[in-house]
Amino acid sequence: MEAGPAGPLTEGAVHPGCVYLVGAGPGSAKLLTLRALEVLQSCDVILYDRLAQEVIGLAKPTAEVRYVGKETNVPTAEMKVHQDSISSQLAALAKQGKSVCRLKGGDPMIFGRAGEEMEELVAAEVPYEVVPAVTACLAAGADARVPLTYRNCATSLRVQTMNPSTIKDEKFDWSQFAAPSATFALYMGLSVVESVTQKMMAAGVSAETPMALVDRASLPEMQVVAGTVATLAAAVKDRKDLPGPALILMGEVVGMRDRLAGSLPPPSSSQPALALIRSTLPALGDDELRQLQQQAGDLLAARAKRKLEQAGYTA
């Protein structure tokens, strides 16, 4: 919970004139936190990202919903203009007395540009709250059966972004990936696997270091492609069935996944509504599927609301 110019925000309530920086989690609506759901179902306006589309249907019916997602591989200058616009909208809407939810994929504080928005809100004297979430590397580790830390094998977890700015940075230290007893979670790496692995090996990273790419973690379409620093790029090259978002796990602990895999639960236990509908009623058209998805989302929202009320939360 965060304090703003108007004082601490009271947990369990959504206030007019306040902004909520909310993490939507890695994808599955079932990994949304109770606090995130409470805010989502209470705010007047919601600005959401491309990676938060699985949960936007849980917003209250009267909310104004704005899509402000950014495209991938956009030049840094263009990205900054887009981000500045989002930050300005948050402050302006709150100044109008509205409760505002900024819904982001993953956790807002990990590569979610929450920092820029926090700076804007402080400058505008707008109170805000940060609602943390399950970040992508946690879901990827769970789905891939890779414990991100493991005694005597992986004693630290390092989170990195492999966006274009990182790849082009001549001062970036690629030798850090040779650190022992470490697990690396590489965000936004799907389109640059070959370049990244080449730079690693050129910096002295062992070609045999285990690596795994996890595509669409937490969703029923999730896939894991395992290999090493030397082989992963070829294993994922030209794969049309890996649309992303994807995350790469790297380190000796990744090599343990085969013996830790065990038996998997039925996929339907974590399927979002649309995927479940599509698998059971494949003959329906897109419009009909969307209508059923909305109905399923309404049922999920009603069920979640009852759970919140039973737990003592009120909107």
217-271 per-position pLDDT tens digit: 999 999 999 999 999 999 999 899 999 899 999 999 999 998 888 776 654 444 4
Q: Which of 30, 44, 60, 70 is flagged as catalytic?
A: 70
Q: For the chain, give me the number of helices (H) and strands (E)? A: 10, 12
Residue 258 annotated to the active site: no
Put residue 7 in one of left, alpha, beta given phi > 0 → left and psi -120 to 50 → alpha.
left
Q: What pLDDT does 170 receive?
A: 87
pLDDT number for residue 269: 40
CA separation for the pair 66, 314 (Å, rounded): 25
Confidence of residue 190 (pLDDT cuts 50, 70, 90): confident
Catalytic residue chosen out of the listed positions 44, 49, 107, 215: 49
49 is catalytic: yes
State residue 198's pLDDT score: 94
Lowest mean per-residue pLDDT among 6-20, 64-78, 267-281: 267-281
CA distance 234 to 194: 8
Examine the pLDDT at 281 and tell me if it is beyond 70: no
* Domains of the chain, start order: 16-134 (3.40.1010.10), 147-260 (3.30.950.10)
In the 8-state DSSP scheme, what is residue 268? Answer: G
